[in-house]
Amino acid sequence: MGERADALGESVDRLVTADLAFRGVVHLLYPPARTRQGRPLALAAADLLHRRVRRGDVVLLATGWPDRPWVSEAIFETDGPPGAAGLGRGLNLALGAVPVLLVEEGMARAAERVLRGAGLVALAPDEARKAAKSDHPIHAGAVISWPSDLAEAREATTRVMEDLHPAAVIAIEKGGMNARGRIHTRKGYDVTAPIAKIDPLMEAAREAGAATIGVGDGGNEIGMGNIREAIRTTIPFGETCACPCQGGIAPITEVDVLVVAAVSNWGAYGVEACLAHRAEAPDAMHDGTLEGLALQAAADAGLMDGITGHVEPSADGLRSNAHEAIVSMLRSLVLHARREVW
């Protein structure tokens, strides 16, 4: 399976890094991330999960980005939650894992709707863990509100590590702190206050030996600490941001594997596809129809496209049909990789 998996990984990385929205960033981020990893990024993340996660294990998926918080802290974007829900579904079907989404308190209900849109039952964490052991199929996940206050986030980290013992922590489109403890938009604006602080959790997970993965598309997300120097020298506002801290947008928190994509949701789906192949569970990769339902659920829950500013089934300026096509092609890659005509 090694040769096929490598070929699949190369194709997946090419697909999820296609800059369909012409944002002009992914081609700067992918090469240093690939150089550091030494192999296809989505495949490296999937292999790590396949090695570390066992049936019944909890996997934490941190996501959620408060968008335009200077207008309202109740606005959240559509890139991230569908990716977390899709990958959570894949982890559940491929490995029997219990996906638990960590989001800001203000978007917890929306995250539950997106989880359902991806085909999972949204339960309390303890109930989702029971579902994984049920004799009758219950594909479930959970949502936990995570603090935006740093001290409270540290306390929450201690609790969740003791209570859930996560086998892996994955951050998808989640703002990461720079060297001065500030979180920025890609354009260098300070948005530290409303964002749930995941950096302490990621650090604790690494210390505990849990797998850590970051997925991002702009250079300001958790995990981009892996390529911090490249961001500082090549990405606008990488070294000097547009806020008084003047520390740049480059995060400092590192992860075991950084997955770079043109859209963060796609990066999560790329990992999902490679995991479905590794686990020999092709149905663990969702299809275009389910992707459309997840994006519609996100819009119905009030999540906004961070590029267009509209509440609609789209993400990063691309409408649902583009995302459905990417997912359909990823699923096609998984199915074709199983064929014997190689």
Nearest to 196 by CA among 154, 254, 153: 153
The arrangement of secondary structure in 2-336, i.e. its CATH architecture, is: Alpha-Beta Complex (3.90)
Computed over every residue of the chain, the mean pLDDT equals 96
Q: Give one DSSP letter per residue of 206-240, joined into a string.
A: HHHT-EEEEEESSS-BTTGGGGHHHHHHHSTTSSS
pLDDT band at 1 (very low <50, low <70, confident <90, very high): low
pLDDT digits 0-9 by tens, 48-103: 999 999 999 999 999 999 999 999 999 999 999 999 999 999 999 999 999 999 99
pLDDT digits 0-9 by tens, 9-30: 999 999 999 999 999 999 999 9
> pTM of the prediction?
0.98
What pLDDT score does 2 carry? Answer: 78
Are residues 179 and 252 in contact, defined by beta-carbon separation less than 8 angstroms? yes
Nearest 5°: the CA angle 114, 123, 113 is 15
- CB atoms < 10 A from the CB of 147, how many? 18
**Spatial distance between the Cα atoms of 246 and 239, rounded to a whole number of angstroms:** 8
Nearest 5°: the CA angle 265, 270, 272 is 95
pLDDT digits 0-9 by tens, 232-264: 999 999 999 999 999 999 999 999 999 999 999
3-state secondary structure (DSSP) of residue 176? coil
pLDDT digits 0-9 by tens, 130-171: 999 998 999 999 999 999 999 999 999 999 999 999 999 999
Nearest to 17 by CA among 1, 34, 3: 34
The residue whose two tokens read 């070929």 is 7
